[in-house]
Structures are given as C-alpha cells and as structure tokens.
Amino acid sequence: MKDMFSKERWKYLFYTVSHPSDGFYWIRHQERGSIGIAILLVVLYGVVFSMNRIYASFVVNDIEPRTVNSVAELAGVLILYLVLCVGNWSVTCLMEGEGRFKDILIAVGYSMLPMVVGTVLATIVSQGVAENEEAFYSIIMGLGTAYTVIMMLIGIMQVHNYTLGKTLTTLFLTVVAMFIIIFLALLVFNFITQVYSFFRSIYTELVFRV
Amino acid sequence: MRMRKCFPRTLCLAAVLCLIASCAWANDSLPYDCYNYDYWNNILYTPAPYVPDGSISGATLEWQGQPLGAFRMPQDLCVSPEGNVYIADTGNNRIVVLSGDLKTVLQVITDFDANGKKETFSSPYGVAVSQNEQLYVADSQNHRIVVLELDGSFVKYVQDPKSEVLDEKFVFTPLKVSVDYADRVYCVAQNMFQGIMVFTAEGDFTGFFGTISVKISLWEKFWRKVSTKEERSKQQLFIPTEFTGIDVDDEGYVYTSNKDTDGIQAVRRLNPKGEDVIRKGAKENLGGDRVFGTVGNYSGPSQIVDVVYRDHGIYSLLDARRGRVFTYDHEGNLLYIFGGIGTQEGTFRVPAAIEHLGSRLIVLDSQQANVCIFSETEYGRLINQAVSLRYDGDESQAVPLWQEVLRLDENNELANSGIGKAYLSAGDNEKALTYLRRGMNRAYYSVAFKRWRNEMLAGNISWILTLVVVLVILLMVWKRVLKPRLAAARTAKGGRTA
C-alpha cells in the first residue's frame, strides 16, 4: 500500500504523461505503475466533473445546479471506468493482447490526469471569461480531453503491444463488449428483482394467511 | 447566516400576501393555477396576474325589455375603438353589441338591408370592427364577409374571390376576419391551408399572406422515397398548419395564431410583405406550455385558438387544450400564465376567442356560451406597466415597478434582469452582476462582468505587477544563487545529488 503511493510512483506518473509511449511500455514490463494512483485519478475525475458542473461560471455553464448529484456522478464515472477496463480486457484476452487487467486499469487511470487538470484549469479560467470569450474555456477543456484520448490510445497500444490499427479495432470491439456487459448486468438485475419480489410475495401471503 | 438574512424578507412577503388575500382573491381560492417557466423550464407558481371578475351569458341580459336569450355556440368577439363589445352569436345567427361594462345590450343585428333586399346571417363565425368604424362579419355559411356601418346599415360584401391560384371547386367559407388601418381585410377561411386570404378595401382578393411552410424531417423524406406510389397515396398528407385567429396592431402588423403540433411557435407577427417578424425570446419558444404530458387528458402541446394584441408590444394567446392564457412581451418573454379548464366561474370548457377591454381581458367560451371577464391584479398591473415602460424605452423608470414585482414574486426573472440592467447603467456593476445572474440574462451579465473585470484590473494593476516583478526576482535568485549553493553543500557532505 505504501509502495503504491511512493514518491517514485508519483514521479513515474508524470513521466508517463510527458512520455506516454515509453511510460506505458515500462508500466507493462517493469511494474512501474500503481493501481492506487490510477483509481485515485479516476475518483478525482469524478469529483472534478461534478465540480465543473456546479462551479463553472454562469457565462459558460448551462447546467441546472439542482440536477447535479455528485455522488451519482462519481459512481457513474467509476462504473464506466470499470466496465471499460473489463470490456477491453475481455476483448484483448482473445486478441493476443499482452496486457494484464492490472495494466489496463493503470493505462486508463493514468490517462485521466490531463482531463482532471484541464477541467480544473477550465473551471478556474471560466471565472474570468465573459460572453464571446467562451473559446478560452472550451479550448482548455478540449485540449485536456484530447490529450486524455491520445494517452488512452497509446496506453492500450503499448500495454498490449498492438499496432495502431489493431488498437482501434479492439477499441471498437471494447465498446461492443461494454454494451453487452451493461445489457447482461441489467438483465441480471432485473432477474434478481423478480426473484426477490417472488419470495417477498410468498412471504406476504404467508403472513396474511397463516 | 443566510437563514437570518432571509427571515425579514419572508416575513415581508407573508405580510404582503396577507394584504393581497384580504383585499382580493387569494391564490388558493382561484379556480386555476398561475405559473411561469424559469430558465430551465421548471414550473414556478406565481401570484395571480388576473382574477375572475364575473361572466356574462345571454340569459342574464335584456334587449328592448325582453330577455336576450342564451348565446348558442358563439365563436368570436371583438372590441370596437369606442370600447363596445361585438359578439358573433354563431348559433343564433346574430351579432350582439354590448357596452364596455358588458351590462347593457346596445344593439342586436340579425338582418340588414342589402340594396333593397333583406338579408340575414348564416353562422356568423368571425367579427371585427375596423379603425374606420365599420363592422366586418364573416358570414360563414353564406360564404361572404358582410361589411356594415356600426348602426347596421349595409356597406358591401366581400365574397367570391377570383384568382388563378384558387382551385375551381374552392368554396369560400370565412371563419375569422380582421381589418387593418387601410381597410385591407385579412381572413382565415375553412380548408384553406395556403395562408391568410387578403382582400383590398374594394373587396378584391389579392393573394395569400404569411403561408407557413411545411416542415418535413429527413426521416419522413426517407420513408417517402422508399415507399411505393400506392403506399404514398394512403399516407397522411403534409399540410401546412392552420391559422386559428388574427389580430392587427396599430402599426398594421398582423398577429396570427396557428395550431402547432410541436408546441414551438403558435403565433406569428406578419409584416406587410407577409414575413414573420416576431421575436421569439431567449428560449425560442412561442408555443404556450413548454412542458406538457404526452398521454392522457390535458396532454400535448397547447392548442392556441386566438391571439389578442394588447398595448406596448404585449399580446396574449388563448389555449383551448388546457384553457390557459399566455401573455408575451414584444421580445418574446413569457410574462405570465393563468386560466384553466373547468366549470367554475373563471374557467373554460371550449374557449374560442380573447379580447382586451382596457385593463381587463375577456374570453369567449363557445361551449358554456358565455364571456368570462378577468381583471388585472396588482401583480399583473406591475408587470404590464414595467414591460410597457421598457417597450417605450424608459427602462430606468421601470425599476421601482420591478422591485415591487420582486416583493410579490422573488423568482421573477424578468424583474431581476430589469433591475440588473438599471444597476448596470447606473454603474453599480457588482449589484448588476447579482441581479442579472438571478435573471439568467447572459448577454447583459457579460457586459456587466467585462466592466467589473476592467475596474478590478485598473484598480489593482499596480500591486499585481509589483507581485509579478518580485516573484521573478525571487525565482532568479533561487535559480542562480541558492540552488547551486545547496547542491554544492550537498555534494560536499557526500549526500545525494538532486
């Protein structure tokens, strides 16, 4: 646990951000990454996401504050992260991907850093922009997101030792896998609810009759 | 802290509410809800802008010592420049003229003498009085518009439109009629989807006006492409929406209401060329209710059946679906909403037409065959006046009125934004920011924000620059002097190098 958040790990996070190709390669082959930091970054993104929705200045913010539910949004981000990683892992397992589940978690998690920084910066900058200057805000947001996407792409490529074409194919299949996972999850959830209500009605019946 | 701050305000509000309750209708005894939509389309209940003030049915009136008799399916009413009310009593084939207080019958027109021939009406559906004091009656089943002097003497017919654009089998059945200052006649005719029919003062048909183009979505186009001719013939026709009501303002602009199945735009303001020049407001919505159910009773978009142009750019729409009256200003802001379907006094069953009578609004109900009268409350009066002042360009004078509105209805976005604008022009940028934010007025908020930002920068630029210079010097000292020394000291000690 202590090793997960050691100074070396933190330094390596920033090395990965500045040298994604190299960084992710050694995460796979030399255990330089840290799951703790990766999950922390995802949690951080969940928090920052809600924060942006509430605190971004009135000029750029069209979101009704009453609809912002930070707990649900955090849970949503985490579930999406988990589903993405599971989906990617289940696809790459079958497509000669070299990465382990752990590596995928780290690759995706580390990629969130630019988006976290971008969102925070944009939220701060938004406090100083007026109408017709929204571009500053959206450029910062856009850059953060673009960097995250690029990092994620390189991360998955390096972790699995894929070519770019194969990465894109697996990413597409990952999305399909994610939909299947969500569908199955909903199915199971629905099924459990039905079973639960069945037993519950038996119980009520017994209570009323016996 | 916030709680304590709020306390006197709530107390104040309660006091005001008590005052209103004691002298007029309390909101909870009204037969309908009064509300408005906020920026996010949440429904916010407001104090009543208009309250029921009695109703008139034919049975309660007398004419020449005899009871007038109940109206039957009356379809239209209008107010003459003198202030008399003309009701098209469609089912009884007569026009009833009431005085402005709606208590005495001035005249009942059942027939007229057309060049020596006695003529009657057959289902007179629409009625209008021109600025030149002539009465126009859309005599629907006789397929003509009858023009009379106000005393009932015959002037002319407007009938039998001739044009290449009209189908040979077309039968002219006028439903609603309106007249502008130059005596041009605008007419909504049955089964006429090409637009409003326009006639010259001489009664010649000149063409259509304000045609609403049909909107076909890409998806519908696709299906039409793939379907066969036979299938296509069975499909629903794409027909432009129907116009339902007309009113002409003092400058000659024609306000028309129409059925809109999307609930986006149910009113148009047509310039003399027939182009729609209405302003749709920040939400781009002039369709009545912005939020509505999709199944069950009272669902679907508002069905606007009539429009009345009032003063200073204010106009009201009448919704037959849920019996509401929607009032907008010239910028397309929704000012207030009231009314409902029901059987109590002040509610409607099938509302057909709306007019304004001074500060009062009157609504004709064809099913109940009566005229509902609504009088302005303090709240309604304040909004009307403040909006009128803005229309006339005296926005600063409107501030005390908006402040009163805020006292009655804290959430009123127009009031907040009006006060904010006043603070902005007075130079109090910080207060302007607060109020414009509450009024959800981005454009003016930005103006205030830019000014506030410049002020802040101008006021603090000296110490900001000083701070920057100091920081730069410190950084240089650290890099050039301290850091090498520290490193040197470390290596001398035999420790790790950084």
pLDDT tens profile B387-398 = 999 999 888 889
Give Cα B296 to chain centroid, integer Å.
Answer: 26
Q: Write down the pLDDT at residue B307.
A: 95
Least confident of A55-69, B136-150, B202-216: B202-216
Reported as a pLDDT band with limits 50, 70 and 90, residue B222 is confident
Any chain B CB within 8 A of the CB of A65? Answer: no
Tokens of A84: 């993405």
Nearest to B443 among A64, A128, A131 (CB): A131
Give B-chain residues touching A64 at CB under 8 angstroms: 40, 42
In chain B, the residue whose alpha carbon lies closest to the alpha carbon of A127 is B449
Per-residue pLDDT at B27: 62
pLDDT the model gives residue B192 = 84
> Residue A114 to residues A61, A121, B271: CA-CA distances in angstroms?
21, 10, 54
Give the pLDDT mean for B214-219: 80
The tens digit of pLDDT for each residue in B2-37 reads 444 444 555 455 554 444 444 445 566 889 999 999
B456 inside 8 A of chain A by CB? no
DSSP-based three-state secondary structure for B192: coil
Q: Rounded CA gap, B38 and B266, in Å? A: 20
CA quadruple B246, B350, B315, B276: dihedral, nearest 10? -40
| Contact in structure between B386 and B329 (CB atoms under 8 Å) | no
Report how far apart, in Å, the C-alpha atoms of A7 and of each of A185, B37, B231 are. Answer: 39, 54, 72
Chains A and B: how many Cβ contacts under 8 Å? 20
Position B115 scores a pLDDT of 85
Buried b / exposed e across A2-33, counting CB within 10 Å, b at 16+? eeeeeeeeeebbeebbeebeebbbbbbeeebb
Q: Does B446 touch chain A (CB under 8 A)?
A: yes
pLDDT given for residue B4 in this prediction: 44
- The answer to whether residue A59 neighbours chain B at the CB level (below 8 Å) is yes
Residue pLDDT, tens place only, A81-109:
999 999 999 999 999 999 999 999 999 99
**Are A131 and B437 in contact (CB < 8 Å)?**
no
Average per-residue pLDDT in chain B? 88
Residue B192 CB burial class (10 angstroms; 0-12, 13-18, ≥19) = buried
Indicate if the pLDDT at residue B122 is higher than 80: yes
Rounded to whole angstroms, the Cα distance separating B445 from B238 reads: 43
Residue A49, both tokens: 């996401």
Query: B160 exposed, middle or buried (CB, 10 Å; 0-12, 13-18, 19+)?
Result: exposed
Q: Which residue of A has its CA nearest to B42?
A: A64
Give the 3-state secondary structure percentages of chain B, helix then strand then coil, rounded to 5: 30, 30, 40
- Report pLDDT digits (tens) over B275-308: 899 999 888 899 999 999 888 888 899 999 999 9
pLDDT-derived band at B224 (thresholds 50, 70, 90) equals: confident
| Residue B147, beta-bridge partner list | B136, B156
In B130-253, where do the E strands start and end? 134-139, 144-149, 154-159, 174-179, 185-189, 196-199, 205-209, 243-248
Average pLDDT for A9-21: 94
Residue identified by tokens 């969500």 is A182
CA pseudo-torsion sign B381, B386, B392, B397:
positive
Give the per-residue pLDDT at A79. Answer: 96
* B195 within 8 A of B212, measured Cβ to Cβ: yes
Q: E-assigned strands of B200-347? A: 205-209, 243-248, 254-258, 267-270, 304-309, 315-319, 325-328, 334-338
CA torsion through residues B188, B192, B195, B199, sign: negative
Q: Give the integer Cα–Cα distance in Å for B150 and B142.
A: 21
Helix, coil or strand: residue B328: strand
Q: Note the pLDDT tens digit of each residue in B32-90.
A: 999 999 999 999 999 999 999 989 988 888 888 888 889 999 999 999 998 999 999 99
Considering CB atoms only, which of A64, A128, A131 is closest to B442?
A: A131
Backbone angles phi, psi at B69, to 5 degrees: 90, 145
Tokens 């910028």 belong to: B331
Which of B42, B437, B449 comes nearest A130 by C-beta? Answer: B449
| Contact state of B446 with A128 under an 8 Å Cβ cutoff | no
Asked if B36 and B334 touch (Cβ cutoff 8 Å), the reply is yes
pTM (predicted TM-score): 0.83
Overall average pLDDT of the B462-477 stretch: 93
Which are the contacts of A136, defined by CB distance < 8 A and separation ≥ 6? A125, A129
For an interface test with A, the pick among B291, B413, B435, B449 (most A C-beta atoms closer than 10 Å) comes out as: B449
Write the CA distances from A185 to A79, A191, B287, integer angstroms: 12, 10, 42
Res B60: pLDDT: 86
Find all residues with CB under 8 Å of B137, minimum gap 6, and list them: B88, B95, B121, B124, B126, B127, B145, B146, B147, B148, B177
Q: Which residue of B has its CA nearest to A60?
A: B442
* Interface contact B442-A128, CB threshold 8 A: no
Answer whether B37 touches A (CB < 8 Å). no
Residues of B in contact with A58 (CB under 8 A): 437, 442, 445
Give the mean pLDDT of A143-153.
96
Q: Which of B40, B42, B445 sits opposite A59 (nearest CB)?
A: B445
Query: Which residues in chain B have Cβ-Cβ distances shorter than 8 Å to A60?
Result: none
Helix (H, G, I), strand (E, B) or coil at B471: helix
CB distance B35 to B341 below 8 Å: no
Identify the helix (H) or strand (E) that includes residue B379.
Answer: helix B378-391
User: Which of B37, B38, B39, B40 has the most A C-beta neighbours within 10 Å, making it the best mutation to test the interface with A?
Assistant: B40
List the single range of B40-49, B185-194, B379-388, B415-424 with lowest mean pLDDT. Answer: B185-194
Query: Which DSSP category does B479 fall into?
Result: I
Q: What is the spatial distance between Cα B218 and Cα B285, in angstroms, rounded to a whole number?
A: 22
Q: How far is CA B158 from CA B40, B152, B193, B205, in A?
A: 48, 16, 20, 9
Say what the pLDDT of residue A144 is: 96
Q: Does B25 touch chain A (CB under 8 A)?
A: no
- Phi and psi angles of residue A184, each rounded to the nearest 5 degrees, phi first: -65, -40
pLDDT of res. B498? 44
Q: Do the Cβ atoms of A130 and B437 come within 8 Å?
A: no
Chain B: nearest CA to A52, how far in angstroms? 18
Q: Would you state the pLDDT for residue B26?
A: 58
Which chain A residues in 108-127 lie under 8 Å from chain B, judged by CB atoms?
none
Q: Which residues contact A152 (CB under 8 A, 6 or more apart)?
A: A107, A108, A111
Spans of all domains in chain A? 3-209
| Contact status of B449 with chain A (Cβ, < 8 Å) | yes
Q: What's the average model confidence in pLDDT over B442-464? A: 92
Confidence class of residue A114 from pLDDT cuts 50, 70 and 90?
Answer: very high
Chain A residues with CB under 8 Å of B40 CB are 64
Contact B338, B11 (CB under 8 A): no
The answer to whether residues B124 and B88 touch, using CB atoms and an 8 Å cutoff, is: yes
Nearest to B246 by CA among B327, B311, B189, B322: B189
Q: Using alpha carbons, list the distances in angstroms from residue A10 to A33, A36, A37.
A: 9, 11, 8
CB contact under 8 A, A58 and B445: yes
- For residue range B152-176, list pLDDT tens digits in order: 889 999 988 888 888 888 889 999 9
Average pLDDT over residues A16-24: 94
Ranges B60-69, B178-187, B324-333: which has the least confidence: B60-69
| Interface check A7 vs B, CB under 8 A | no
Contact of B442 with chain A, judged by CB distance below 8 Å, is answered with yes
B471/chain A closest Cα distance in angstroms:
21
Name the burial class of residue B434, with classes exposed (0-12), middle (13-18) and buried (19+) by CB atoms within 10 angstroms of its CB. Answer: middle
Q: Which helix (H) or strand (E) holds B421?
A: helix B413-426
B437: nearest CB among A58, A64, A132: A58
Pick from B292, B405, B364, B477: nearest CA to B89: B364
In this predicted structure, what is the pLDDT of residue B495?
54
